[in-house]
Amino acid sequence: MPARRPRVAVVGGGIGGLATAVGLRQQDVDVTVHEQAEDTTGRGAGIALGANGHRALRALGVATRLDGSAVAPLRAEFRHWRTGRTLAAHALAGTYAQRFGAPFLTVERAALQRALLAELGPGPLRRGARCTAVEQTGHGVVLRFEDGTETEADAAVGADGIHSAVRHSLFGPDRAVFSGTSGYRALVPLERLRGRPELREDVLWLWLGPGRHVIAYPVAGGTLLNFLAVVPDRDWTVESWSTEGTTGELLGHFEGWHPFVTDVLAAADRPGRWALYDREPLRHWTRGRVTLLGDAAHAMLPHHGQGANQCLEDAVVLARLLGGASAGRGVVEALRRYEVERRPRTRLLQAGSRRNAGCFQAPDGPEADARDARLAGLPEDLAWIHGHDALAALGTAPPATSPPTPAAVGRRAPQAPEFGGPAAPHAPGPEGSAAPDAPGTGGATAPEPTLS
């Protein structure tokens, strides 16, 4: 008699949770997504999809659903904050795809979530279901919800963001780590910026300055410009997608910057503002039949542009492993192997994201000059990130009892975070996030703006 396939409960209907459910459905696994919000289309922000993330979307059959809304930037340009001098430029069209096996795309977060929802279909999604606790029994797991209901499954996946109730059930309370910075974000209609010659082509812009940086790129078929402006702010600790700043205060942080930057920022009506947090890497993501995914497992700052990409990598690996598991001990082994495969790589990316903040915001002078020299070698330095194929790498991770090594995380993985710079100051703070838990995101990750 063939072994019964597992029933899987996914907590969180953001990018990672939906992608996991799509992957499981592909393999005829019974899966239900429990999302706390009624609206699962997310809030406005942009995401940069590297080749590694795009490969995962192709494996899920979702990539073509982004045709017409995704933008393929021609290049990434690093510019000096005041003069506009080009510090480095790297092609993203053609040569990038040839090197890494997939294109680099920029998309609206909501568009990606709609694409995943369309692929999944409405059946497996339960809206308005806030999970408060997960308990393991002798033969499965029980999920309890705020409305007093509960459900059983053979395995549970916590894709419920940095404030994860599933993580709390597994490992108890912990503290978010405050970066001492806040981010302003907005989607600006490009028609408001028609006079800017820089916007005649689709480009990923990175404007680097002392203590601040701005990243901008087109989304929505080239009709909107997404930006993220990161500023020092140790007093602002609010991390909510619904919190708004003012255009005036935003511009005040960028006095003296190049007119392109100030014109873009001035075109925003009501920029969102949130404090930037991450968490220290967890020693484990998994206990028995319960595991974590995305921000719940490895929340990272947005300075590597890999939050959503890592969610997608997690999702395809976990779905592949659970798809081949039986409902019994096979689930436990699949979740154990998933952690072994994914944890070393995401730990490096968490550390690198912290370091990139200091690198992007180096003061003018020798420190910035050294950074600018390193920018020339960026494609080679980032090959281990963008060239990674999460499914092809299955089976190359070390045994669970072995310490993580660079060989476990893909091509040319560095011993230290690859783009260098001193680590940005971090301090334990109130509960917070790399990006706030937006309604309808299930706690999905922050806007992912950078090349790295």
Q: Which amino acid is at 149?
A: T
- Phi, psi at residue 153, to the nearest 5°? -155, 170
Tokens representing residue 62 in the block:
């979702």
Beta bridge partners of 207: 79, 214
- What sign does the dihedral 347-63-437-223 (CA atoms) show? positive
Q: 184: which residues sit within 8 A by CB, 6+ positions away?
A: 227, 228, 229, 231, 245, 250, 265, 268, 271, 272, 273
End-to-end Cα, the chain, rounded Å: 48
Tokens representing residue 19 in the block:
């992608």
On the 0-12 / 13-18 / 19+ scale of CB atoms within 10 A, 232 is middle
- How far is Cα 366 from Cα 383, in angstroms, rounded to an integer? 27
* Active-site residue, from 96, 217, 277, 338: 217
Active site residue 217: yes
Name the residue with tokens 């279909």: 121
Helix, strand or coil for residue 275? strand
Tokens representing residue 276 in the block:
């930037």
Tokens representing residue 212 in the block:
């601040």
Name the residue with tokens 């597994």: 170
In eight-state DSSP terms, residue 401 is: T
Q: What is the DSSP string of 227-243?
A: EEEEEE-SS-----TT-
- How far is Cα 249 from Cα 207, in angstroms, rounded to an integer? 19
- How far is Cα 128 from Cα 448, in angstroms, rounded to an integer? 27
Q: What does the longest C-alpha to C-alpha distance in the chain come to?
A: 73
- How far is Cα 417 from Cα 429, in angstroms, rounded to an integer? 24
- Phi, psi at residue 381, to the nearest 5°? -65, -30
On the 0-12 / 13-18 / 19+ scale of CB atoms within 10 A, 273 is buried
Helix 307-323 vs helix 51-60: crossing angle, to nearest 10: 40
- Give the catalytic positions in this structure: 217
